[in-house]
Chain A
Amino acid sequence: MTTAISVQSATRTFGRTTALDRMSFSVASGSILGLLGRNGAGKTTIMSIIAGQDRPTAGRVEVLGGEPFENASVLSQISYVRDNQRYPDDYKLHHVLRIAPDFAPNWDADLAAELAEGFRIPSKTKIKKLSRGQLSSIAIVVGIASRASITLLDEPYLGLDITARALFHEVLIRDYAEHPRTVVLSTHLVEESERLFDQVVIVDRGSVVLDVESDEIQNVAYTVSGTADAVDRVTQGRPVLSTHAVGGLKSATLRGLVDEQVRADARAGGAQLSPVSLQELVAAFGEYEPDATSGVALDGGEPRTPVDSQNGARS
């Protein structure tokens, strides 16, 4: 499988703020990547760079084999609608639908019209007067109807109602199945979208903290819960992502697989072991403080080293 997007140790600083800190991951051609993480983790920054709207301060980002910034042949194959996309003041829906094909060679006008109707986007209202959800709908229409080889969807759900979110999923999958493309989707609504992903990258503080194929998610971490003593017996000497305690009760999310020794330690104190959902995993990685743990590094390496289970396997 060829690589569509390759982020190689990309760093982006804004003054004293480091938005990206040697971020690395790659996306296989024709796959759907879920780019997850807390606000400020660097999702929008890396998307802007992949889209060629910004450049890394250091490192390299390649899309379809070239650097996208001011690279017309690459840019024509990328569709990216920012979550705060601005339009000219007098623009209405039809202006957007008329100008979009100029930027998207594979534009499908029929699909765009069908989607605009499905999302019930008002056609006579100026775009600057539309609601947050209606703006998101326009971004989705443009994003999907562009049929670009590289489709970047940054928080496409903002303000969308449940019906519109379901429609978005259906349309995306149907069109993706008929016209395969590489999709990068960032979202906080993990539970609703996780079944779409081939690959999941979790970022935090500008770096990749997890990069796995979807099938591997349940092997990444597990939760142990019970009385504080029982839980501590299991966490002792093992890499802890996050803990919660209320009264005498405690739960902890631990990195790694449940093995016989973990099972035995849990049984000894009467603690329960359970699998961790992707949503819980994102939350746990978002809470993880390298300095606050018992000094046991995640995955046995540097605390902030990305846990990379797939480099080489996919490329």
Chain B
Amino acid sequence: MFTNDSPLFQQIADRIADDIAAGTYPEETAVPSATDFAVFLHMNPATVSKGVNLLVDRGLLYKKRGIGMFVASGARDMLRRARLDEFTQRFVEPLLAEAHVLDIDIDTLHEMISQKVKDHA
């Protein structure tokens, strides 16, 4: 569940962001408290708070004083847009690079993708 590749607070932030993007925590509803996350994940509460604060800084969560952390309106859209930007970088660019190495031209590539889409349909 957790890896050594990035700091824990970053991983907890990513995890909550994933859940917001997936709609697990709808907009304008509360996310579990830092203490709940900490107890559930057996994690230092300060680490969780640090992760949660990253999402506050990005405008994805906001604090209602005395009540808790809430998912901001538009948070889901914001996350999806960020992932769309990443999509090109993470998937399209490596695909084109590999296609170039293998001398696959753009028409063949289109054809391969169309074929896969049909297979999945």
Contact = CB atoms under 8 A, between A and B. Distances in A.
Instruction: Decide whether A and B assemble into one complex.
Output: yes
Interface string A138-180: 0000000000000000000000000000100110011011100
A173 B45 contact: yes
Nearest to A170: B39
Interface majority SS on B: helix, strand, loop or mixed? helix
Interface string B1-22: 0101111110000000000000
A32 B44 contact: yes
Most buried by B among A173, A215, A277: A173
Interface in B1-58: 2, 4-9, 34-35, 38-39, 41-47
A67 B116 CA distance: 72
Interface string A170-200: 1001101110000000000000100111100
Contacts of A174: 35, 39
A177 B38 contact: yes
Contact of A173 (B4, B6, B8, B42): B42
A214 interface: yes
A169 B40 CA distance: 9
Contacts of B5: 218, 275
A174 B43 CA distance: 10
B34 to A, nearest CB: 8
A276 interface: yes
B43 A196 contact: yes
A195 B47 CA distance: 8
A192 B42 CA distance: 9
Contacts of B41: 195
Contacts of A173: 35, 38-39, 42-45
Contacts of B6: 218
A140 to B, nearest CB: 15
Contacts of B39: 170, 173-174, 177
A215 B8 contact: yes
Interface string A197-219: 11000000000000000110110
Contacts of B38: 173, 177
Nearest to B10: A215
A303 B49 CA distance: 37
A277 B8 contact: no
Interface of B: 2, 4-9, 34-35, 38-39, 41-47
Interface of A: 31-32, 166, 169-170, 173-174, 176-178, 192, 195-198, 214-215, 217-218, 275-277
The 3 closest A-B pairs by CB, nearest first: A275-B4, A169-B42, A177-B35
27 contacts: A166-B42, A170-B39, A173-B43, A173-B44, A173-B45, A174-B35, A176-B45, A177-B34, A177-B38, A177-B39, A195-B2, A195-B8, A195-B41, A195-B42, A195-B44, A195-B47, A196-B42, A196-B43, A196-B44, A198-B46, A214-B47, A215-B7, A218-B4, A218-B5, A218-B7, A276-B4, A277-B4
